[in-house]
Amino acid sequence: MNGDMNLTPFKELLLRTCGHSFEKEREQALSVSLFRRMAVQGMAGYDAYHALLLRDSDELLRLTELLTVNETYFFREPDHLNMMADTLLPEFMALRKQRPIRIVSAGCSTGEEPYSIAIMLRERFGAASERLFEVVGVDIDSTVIASAQRGVYGKNSFRGMDKSLLERYFEAGSSGRYQVCDAIRKQVGFEVVNLLGPSYPERMQLPDIILYRNVSIYFPGQVQREIFGRLAELLAAEGALLVGAAETFHHDIGVLSLVKQDSLFYYRKTPPLVFEERRTASRFSTTSKRLEAGAVRTGSAAVAKPQPPPMRPQATNAPDSPAKRPYSLPRVDIRERFDEAITLAHSKQYDTALDVLAAIIEQDGTFEKAYVLKGSLLLSLSRFDEALVVCKTVLERDPLCLEAYLMLGIIARQMRNNDEAIKRFREAIYLDATCWLAHFHTGEILYAQGDEKRSRSSFETTLKILAGGPLKELGQAFFPLSFNAEQFAVICRHKLSLLVPAKG
């Protein structure tokens, strides 16, 4: 479609002015939109249209509106909304007794998210929600803001909504469309805002909560960081910033504290905690740097990476006896010894590998890789109670440890606690959507429970991930032991053959 057209000047302009990136698969959308706007303006020359964009901010806005993807619906990702209403709002109401709680939906599109918030507030706080809260939706696209202000929606907008809420808060119109009732419309304000613009309107200032969900996926990394930093600065003290599940760790850049609330994550504006410098880098070096810049928190309290006593080998009656003395480890390079433990594990010398790991942990209790490998070995030996203790120790130190959640899920499944297992696998997938072992085990549990639709989805996802790289490497993505990815792929294909819907 773009022929000989040079898209580079247009891509640079759009990146600079609104933060949107149009590389690879999005180039087609850019080409189509440029041709449409050039036809409206009666222009055939690309250079002339580019010059028009440089001098005419209204035309630039029209082009931006064509390029904005506005896929949304009511009560999207409801777990975050429920957490906000049930946990964050009561806390803020206790802190902000002299003023309403301000909630901003950034990148609100056609308004489903801010209206969902207003409905949720009305359900929990009744008519008092009008004075207790201020809800503002902002978007760069003036067309969608105008649509949001009208508050009229078709059936696709209600696919995540309870029918009783539809009946209480919407009025039926023509052609199967519904309009938000006056009480809810009155509670939500809207503004046209460019998040990369020079300033933000008064109604966005010092919000207690910002929802910035499923917006940054359209921005390149540098723009993501800039906008996130500006929103973080905008927040009131102790304010919270919620992003979409798939975007969580893109924004963990040390600007705000990452908080874990049950199985969910969000960001909080809190003073950074001070951590002692690590003696030895670990597998979690990236996470460690994030923790030092802004504390990871669980529940309502920050996790300051407590340093429990080292996990020492059990004491003996004759510590100086060569036959009884624990594995002797000279104080040398821990990484070298850790590699030795892995080699021992692969050769199935599990007890000796555990001795090496115990000595590593005794020398440096901050070396998380040793704990994770120890948990994996204990899991392989079916010593589930001991593995459980190790996993909990790891999570005290690093609440973002994927392997710990995965091991907890496997332990729970072995103990026939499927609800706990599903929860842990879900947490693992939240941390890394490509965690195929979590998808696989979820599928196995759902299959056993007779949930064919969701188990099929889990097995298909597992196969899709496994198809994305060498099976040998994928088999070692989380543990160095026990998991043969090719065998798991065979099991998935077999289960899917059993799940094929019967033909009429």
pLDDT (tens, 9 = 90+) of the chain, 504 residues, equals 444 578 888 888 877 776 666 665 567 778 878 888 888 888 878 888 888 988 887 788 778 766 755 567 899 888 889 999 999 999 999 888 788 999 999 999 899 999 999 999 999 999 999 999 999 999 988 888 999 999 999 988 898 788 899 999 999 988 889 999 999 999 999 999 989 888 899 999 999 999 998 777 667 677 788 889 999 999 998 999 998 765 666 666 778 888 878 767 889 997 543 333 333 333 333 333 333 333 444 444 333 333 333 333 333 333 333 333 344 444 457 888 888 888 888 777 888 989 998 988 888 888 888 888 898 888 878 788 898 999 988 888 888 888 888 899 989 988 889 889 999 998 888 888 888 888 989 998 998 888 888 889 999 988 888 887 654 444 444 454 555 667 678 788 888 888 866 444
- CA angle (143, 145, 146) in 5-degree steps: 65
Helices 485-499 and 436-448, packing angle to 10 deg:
40
Angstrom distance (rounded) from CA 500 to CA 504 = 12
Q: Which of 427, 433, 444 is nearest to 492 (CA)?
A: 444
Enumerate the domain spans of the chain.
8-67, 78-268, 334-499
CA distance 185 to 204: 18
pTM above 0.75, yes or no: no
What CATH fold (topology level) applies to the domain 334-499?
A: 1.25.40
The C-alpha atoms of residue 297 and residue 396 are separated, in whole angstroms, by 10
- Residues 206/269, Cβ–Cβ less than 8 Å: no
19 sits in the region (left: phi over 0; alpha: psi -120 to 50; else beta) called: left
Is CATH 3.40.50.300 what the domain over 78-268 is classified as, yes or no? no
Coil, strand, or helix at residue 367? coil
